[in-house]
């Protein structure tokens, strides 16, 4: 019998929230993402752009990839960039958390730098970590405690010298584990 554990976690997402979401034009995010595929500037295998802007508080506009999805995400009513790893993670668990946070940082920087971002800025002092893997992680406080060490270690490499407060987001009990990270 195979046993799945938290150390096997690969589906790790990281979201950074927009400071000025009012400037975002989702219609322009579509050509922005298509352009990245065209210019081949992304790691991994980017596949296509999916437009879910019509779904309130949904995934927004997504750049679907083989290893990971990137999106201008509208979930929770707070637009932001979300990097969601899906497979082929490498390294140990702290390294995998760090990789997703770093990828979200890069995604934010790339959108900020593009004219089609219309000057949007993303907050690096708040990170939403999303772990959609119910086989390995329940959405409860015990899971947060179990992952606290790995997330803290990941933050030590991606946000060195900062103090992090980790809390579990509890507004959707049926949803995946989500950890809010506030940095001071």
Partner 1 sequence: MSTTEWRERLLERMPPELAEEIDIFEGQMELRRKGKIEDRVFAETRLRRGVYGQRYDNGHRHDGLASRELVYPAGDLTKGPETLWDAPGMVRIKVPYGGITPEQLDVIAELAEEYSDSILHITTRQDVQLHYVHIDDTPDLMRRLASVDITTREACGNGVRNLTACPLAGVCHTEAFDTTAYAAALFRFLLGHPDCQDFGRKFKPAFSGCAGEACGLVMMHDFGAIARTSIVDGVERRSFDLYVGGGLGTTPHQAKLLYEDHPVEELLPAVQSIARVFGRLGEKANRNRARIKFLVAKLGIDEFRRLVDEERKVLPHDDRWTSYLPSVEDYTESPVREAVPAPANGAPLPDGYREWLRTNVYRQRQPGYAVATVALPLGDLSSTQTRQLADVARKYVGDAVRTTVEQNIVLRWVAEGDLPALYEDLVAIDLAAPGAGTIVDVTSCPGTDTCKLGIASSRGLAGELRTRLAAKQFELDEAVRGLRIKVSGCFNSCGQHHVADIGFFGNSRKINGVTVPHFQVVLGGRWRENAGSYGLAIGSVPSKRIPEVVDAITTRFVTEREGEESFQDWIARLGKKELGAMIGELKTVPPVDEDPSFYTDWGDARVFTMGDMGIGECAGEVISSTDLELTMAESIAFDAQVALEDGDLARADERAYAAMVAGARALVRTEHPNVPDDPDTIVREFRTRFYDTERFFDRFAKGRFARPLFDRHEAGSPAEHQDEATRSLVEESQLFIDAVHAMEIREAGAQSALV
Indicate which single residue of 19, 50, 153, 156 sits in contact with partner 1 (rule: CB under 8 A).
50
Indicate which single residue of 64, 109, 156, 166 sits in contact with partner 1 (rule: CB under 8 A).
64
Q: Which residue has the tokens 């992304």?
A: 42
Decide: 132 and 143 in contact? Cβ < 8 Å.
Answer: no
Indicate which single residue of 133, 152, 164, 166 sits in contact with partner 1 (rule: CB under 8 A).
133
Residues 142-181 that bind partner 1 (CB under 8 A): 142-143, 146, 172, 174-176
Tell me: does residue 18 bind partner 1 (CB under 8 A): no
- DSSP state string for 35-95: HHHHHT-SSS-EEEEEEETTSTTS-EEEEEESSEEEEEE-GGG--EEEEEE-S---S-HHH
Decide: 168 and 178 in contact? Cβ < 8 Å.
Answer: yes
Indicate which single residue of 54, 115, 160, 184 sits in contact with partner 1 (rule: CB under 8 A).
54
Tell me: does residue 135 bind partner 1 (CB under 8 A): yes
Q: Which stretch binds partner 1 (CB under 8 A): 14-22, 97-105, 129-137, 157-165?
A: 129-137
Of 181, 177, 155, the C-alpha closest to 166 is: 181
Indicate which single residue of 43, 92, 123, 138 sits in contact with partner 1 (rule: CB under 8 A).
138
């Amino acid at each position: 019998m195979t046993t799945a554990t938290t150390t096997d976690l690969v589906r790790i997402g990281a979201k950074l929230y927009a400071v000025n979401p009012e400037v975002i034009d989702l219609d322009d995010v579509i050509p922005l993402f298509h352009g990245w595929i065209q210019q081949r500037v992304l790691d991994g295998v980017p596949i296509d752009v999916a437009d879910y802007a019509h779904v309130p508080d949904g995934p927004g506009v997504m750049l679907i990839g083989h290893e990971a999805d990137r999106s201008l995400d509208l979930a929770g009513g707070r637009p932001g960039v979300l990097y969601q790893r899906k497979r082929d993670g490498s390294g140990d668990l702290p390294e995998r958390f760090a990789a997703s946070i770093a990828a979200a940082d890069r995604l934010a920087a790339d959108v900020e730098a593009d004219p089609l971002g219309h000057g949007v800025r993303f907050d690096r002092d708040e990170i939403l970590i999303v772990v959609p893997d119910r086989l390995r992680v329940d959405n409860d406080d015990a899971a947060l405690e179990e992952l606290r060490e790995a997330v803290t270690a990941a933050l030590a490499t991606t946000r060195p010298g900062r103090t992090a407060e980790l809390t579990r987001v509890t507004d959707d009990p049926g949803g995946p584990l989500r950890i809010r990270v506030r940095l001071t």
